[in-house]
Amino acid sequence: MSPRTGRPTDARKNHDLKVRVDDKLYDRLIRYAEAENMTKAEAIRHVLETYLPNN
């Protein structure tokens, strides 16, 4: 077995973020992720990509 685990990807994710949120925001995130058939991490990345400027 390879020493690397996880899914292969062309877009390596080298940075790990930690953010604290209240129950209400967490529930919104979970509902959004489930509705879009995404993981929490995918949903967060999608929201960041959508709302942050590209400059």
Task: State how far the alpha carbon of 18 is from the alpha carbons of 15, 21, 26, 37, 41, in Å.
Answer: 10, 10, 13, 22, 11
| Res 16: pLDDT | 92
1: pLDDT confidence band, cut at 50, 70 and 90?
A: low
| Res 13: pLDDT | 84
Q: What pTM, to 2 d.p., does this model score?
A: 0.74
User: What mean pLDDT comes out for the span 27-49?
Assistant: 97
| Res 10: pLDDT | 78
Contacts of 33 (CB under 8 A, 6+ apart): 39, 40, 42, 43
Q: Which of 27, 7, 52 is nearest to 17 (CA)?
A: 52
Q: 7-31 pLDDT, tens per residue?
A: 677 788 899 999 999 999 999 999 9
